[in-house]
Amino acid sequence: MKHMQRSQLMRLIRPKEFSTKILPVMLAIAWLIAPSPTLAQLPGIDRLNGEIDPESDSTNAPTVVDPSAIDKSPSTRLDNFTGLQVSRPINLSEYRLGPLDSIRIDIFNVPELSGEQTVTPNGDINISLLGPVRVAGLTLGETAALLEQELAPFLVRRIINVSLLAPRPLNIAVVGEVNRPGTVVMNYTGTGGTVSLASVTQALRRAGGTTQRADISNVQISRISTDGVRSVIDLDLLALVESGDISQDIILQDGDSIFVPRIADARLAQARQVRDASFASEQSIIQVVLTGEVNRTGPQTLSFTRGEGQEGNPFATVTRAIQQANGITELADIRNVEVRRINANGTQDVLVANLWSLIQDGDLDQDIQLVDGDSIHVPEVTDPVTAEYGQIAKATFSPDTITVRIIGEVNGPGSISLRPNAPFTEAIIAAGGITNDGDWRRVELYRISPSGKLTRRKLKADLDLAPNEDTNPGLRDRDFIVVRSSFGANILNTVTRTLSDIVTPITLLERLIDD
């Protein structure tokens, strides 16, 4: 009841009369009967949260803080941008208020003016003795100082604490090389004297992660200060990935725009770092086109998921694309595979992958990582090296099977599927072996050379032969095998056909006579 009467009384008295006549008397009585509190006796007052020093001389003129004099414009250089450099929790003294922030104001021994406030969309809070007070863009400490200045005519002991109850959500625009460009909403989480603020990498993850064409060394943050000045902050997230430079993962402010450009360097030195970064896309799908000496030319869709392990598809490369196109042909020049890529400026770059170095020396750099829109061309070899074919056939980008056709004196003539570079005798076995009329010493292997010339080799189907390029060569796709009849079988077949030519007319005449 006493508090209610006092509150009603304060509303009836004009501020000037209250401050010049009644308030000094009330405060004088309170000064005589109440001991001066120490800092430890003031619960909830934190020097980092915007307090006024209780040991300051109350008889001196209050310190005036001009909000317009507070430098709120962000620096455009990271070297001077020390206030917003880390993504880990920071002290609330660095937090700047904005619309929808929920705060609590505690004015010592004046509960009528204390309480919870929500910053309005205009950036104001409402104080009963003052009306709207603009606090948008101020820190908690600056807000406390501003209230001290404005309430100075009504206060003798200027002890004001402003604390953050519930931070507002952030609206951040993310555009460029991310999988889901647009506006993302980021939420703060605050406990005690710290608040976990939203960082650049968190916003990138919320936007679906960066694409493989992202230039993470030149990320730009566009920020508008409270006085309307736009500034651009350049970030090198590649330094964050490579050397752990957390200063590049700056704290975001409401209304920031993040732009992730497309990489201009066709060789994509960042490709593997981008793939493994925590803010990269977990799953991606790209479209590429294959031409030349592959078994299935045309557009291909490659999907890959980060973190699936050895059985997963961690990223898209040249060999993966060739595998999906059913492998190379036997005419492929694997030393000069071309990857054609359109850069951000519209120019085209051609990267050459030497897949022979990949399988011979283990040079992983030759297995170029692909990006959306790449075109892969596998040229035809002009001077094939026969001795290398066996090793190429074992490569993962070679086809899993080849097709060979076999005719003549075998039990199962026709087309058969074999593993690449399978020995010639394996085809004989797969065709069911040679018939009784067949001659294992009279077998012919036909093959079309890269120049288009048809070659023929005479071989012996000795099933005990070890693989050998001279006597039991490895087969290639579309090879043609003919197994000839033996000499005795040819004579027998000739006699049989001759007798058949004689007997058949006689038999026909006998039937006509009988009729």
Distance CA 353, CA 356 (A): 9
Query: pTM to 2 decimals?
Result: 0.54
Last residue of a domain, one of 246, 276, 306: 276
Last residue of a domain, one of 393, 425, 457: 393
Q: What percent of the chain has pLDDT over 90?
A: 27
List, in sequence order, every beta strand (DSSP E) within 409-487: 414-418, 438-448, 454-459, 480-485
Whether residues 292 and 382 share a domain: the answer is: yes
Is 252 within a domain?
yes
Whether residues 255 and 321 share a domain: the answer is: no
Q: What is the pLDDT of residue 338?
A: 95
Whether residues 272 and 287 share a domain: the answer is: no
Task: Name residue, tokens 């990271």.
Answer: 78
Whether residues 357 and 375 share a domain: the answer is: yes
Tens digit of each residue's pLDDT (9 = 90 or more) over 301-352: 888 766 554 444 457 889 999 999 999 988 899 999 999 988 767 788 899 9
Distance CA 356, CA 375 (A): 20
What's the domain count of the chain? 3
Q: What is the pLDDT of residue 514?
A: 56
Whether residues 406 and 464 share a domain: the answer is: yes
Whether residues 303 and 388 share a domain: the answer is: yes
Distance CA 161, CA 384 (A): 83
How confident is the model over 23-41, as a mean pLDDT?
Answer: 41
Whether residues 327 and 267 share a domain: the answer is: no
Q: Which structural domain, as residue segments, surrounds residue 465? A: 402-489
Yes or no: say if 1 and 8 are a contact pair by the CB < 8 Å rule: no
Half-sphere exposure of 411 (CA within 13 A, CB side): 9
Chain mean position to CA 443: 57
Secondary element (H or E) of residue 161 = strand 160-166
CB atoms within 10 A of CB 347: 10
Whether residues 267 and 213 share a domain: the answer is: yes
> What one-letter code names the amino acid at 438?
G
Is 118 within a domain?
no
SS3 361: helix
How far lies 191's CA from each of 85, 126, 166, 196, 250, in Å? 20, 25, 9, 8, 20
Q: What percent of the chain has pLDDT over 70?
A: 69
Mean pLDDT score across all residues of the chain: 75
Two structure tokens written together for 488: 């005795």
Tens digit of each residue's pLDDT (9 = 90 or more) over 366-422: 998 888 889 999 999 888 777 788 888 888 888 888 899 999 999 999 999 998 888
Whether residues 415 and 342 share a domain: the answer is: no
Smallest CA-to-CA distance from 49 within 150, 138, 169 is with 138
Is 187 within a domain?
yes
Distance CA 14, CA 360 (A): 93
Give the domain CATH number at 373.
3.10.560.10
Report angle CA 227, 229, 234 to the nearest 5 degrees.
135
Whether residues 331 and 264 share a domain: the answer is: no
Last residue of a domain, one of 393, 424, 458: 393
> What pairs with residue 423 in β-bridges?
474
Tens digit of each residue's pLDDT (9 = 90 or more) over 111-121: 888 899 999 99
Smallest CA-to-CA distance from 212 within 96, 369, 351 is with 369
Is 77 within a domain?
no
Is 329 within a domain?
yes
Is 129 within a domain?
no
Whether residues 382 and 444 share a domain: the answer is: no
Is 199 within a domain?
yes
Whether residues 202 and 221 share a domain: the answer is: yes
Is 22 within a domain?
no
